[in-house]
Amino acid sequence: MKPTLFETMLRSLYPPCCLLCAAPVDRDFGLCPPCWRDMPFISQPACMFCGMPIAADKLEGPTPCDSCFRAPPAWEAGRAALLYQRSAKGLILAMKHGDRTDCFKPAASWLFAACQDLLTPDTIVTAVPLHWRRYLNRKYNQAAFLGQHVARLANISYEPFLLKRHRATAPLDTASSAERRARMQNTIALNPARAQALYNKPVLIIDDVMTSGATLTAAAQACRAGQPQKISVAILARTPKNDY
């Protein structure tokens, strides 16, 4: 479609720039070539549960990483778009703490590309919820923004109020895996008013970053109470295992 005169004028005043470094780019919400090359996209083969890249010689169909093989997670399938390092880390921190809502649209398109094989027409998409105190401080739930965009791209149902976080937790950034699991126990619950929407349907839980999996475990366990057909997770970025 040919741009309108107003759009042409607007573009001349505010030309598209890279989301990360502000260098000129050809289109809105894009990355310049150096930032694109530095973005650590995850390619196959990757763990069928957490999205962590795995060695190609271990590939025999859907394969878990060593950690998920030893301790299977509370969900049946998982995908991740990025490794939480380099440009991806800067992008996600800007989204989470820098009010960079312009980053959600491209980030969600990468997440959709990573998880679209898990989506069916009856899949329910939801997001890891924020506690209301954290929500007031941050003004928005970054996982919910991602979930909305993914559901829109897939043309399937998004349930924003499926899960609720009824207990606040201390920040998990510096906590060990064991501390994360302990802090997240019984913090997320299924919303009784929305539980029926989940019955015998596949559900996809969206989050921005997965480190130990404690938060997603709490969310998946809460969903289990609604008797879904299958629980899957999709995360924008997976923390490399030597980083926690």
Taking the domains of the chain in order of start, what are their residue ranges? 28-243
Q: 0.85 cut: is pTM over it?
A: yes
28-243 adopts what CATH topology? Rossmann fold (3.40.50)
pLDDT of residue 59: 58
Task: Average the pLDDT over 232-241 and give the result.
Answer: 94
pLDDT of residue 10 exceeding 50: no
Q: Point out which residues pair with 124 in neighbouring strands.
A: 157, 203
- Work out whether strand 188-190 and strand 163-165 pair parallel, antiparallel, or are unpaired: antiparallel
- Distance separating alpha carbons of residues 138 and 50, to the nearest angstrom: 27
pLDDT of residue 13 exceeding 80: no
Closest CA to 75 of 216, 237, 226, 225: 216
Task: Average the pLDDT over 28-57 and give the result.
Answer: 88
Residue 222 and residue 163 in contact, taking contact as beta carbons nearer than 8 Å: yes
User: What confidence tens digit (pLDDT) does each residue in 166-221 have?
Assistant: 877 766 666 677 777 777 788 899 999 999 999 999 999 999 999 999 999 999 99
